[in-house]
Amino acid sequence: MRQANAKDRILQTAGQLFFQRGYSEVGINEIIERAETAKASFYQHFSSKEALCEAWLAAVHDRSEDQRAALLAAASNPTAKLECYFDELAAFMINSQFRGCPYSNTGAVSDATCTGIVAQIQGHKDSLRRFFREICNLQLDESSRAEESVIASSSSILELPPNAKTSAPSGPSKSLAKQPSNSSPDNPFFAPNNRQTIL
């Protein structure tokens, strides 16, 4: 049973064909035939094959952006978020019989005149960079908090208890006071005549 919305049918059909064979290898007539729609309906929704490709890339981007936003919002540490991202990516590659990144593949057959396609590709790449930078920032924040916790714990260990005396005695310790030398005439244990200590 075909979908009721002609635009959705065209977009889904084009996406499957573009992904499997590449943007340059698929023609409008094939898309129209497989989507079971009329040419007039096609041009009612998309002004050209290039515009259709832009819509497809935008749809892929929106889905992947939602997944990345959910990962960032999840209550897990940065490492777990990153592992989950690559686990989901690996599962997608296996289940979809991955034939390469749709953005890289499309970019390889598009030139600078395809401004809308180029903008979609660049926007998606920028979004991925922001995602990984955000993961890195979360990791740095977590590391900083851990370091601050260690510093705080160390400081509390080194703190003296409230009733401890912190002031040093003003005068020299008796044990450190100058002791009389055995060689001094004032030493009662020194015999100046025979220079022997009297015990």
pLDDT digits (tens, 9 = 90+) for 168-193: 555 555 444 444 444 444 443 334 44
DSSP run (H or E) holding 76: none
Rounded CA gap, 21 and 26, in Å? 7
pLDDT digits (tens, 9 = 90+) for 106-123: 999 999 999 999 999 999
CATH top class, domain 6-155: mainly alpha
Whole-model pTM: value is: 0.69
User: Tokens representing 183?
Assistant: 């060689």
Work out the burial of residue 30: count CB atoms within 10 Å of its CB; fewer than 13 is exposed, 13-18 middle, 19 or more buried: middle
**At 84, phi and psi to the nearest 5?**
-65, -40
Among residues 130, 118, 106, 127, which one has the least CA distance to residue 63? 127
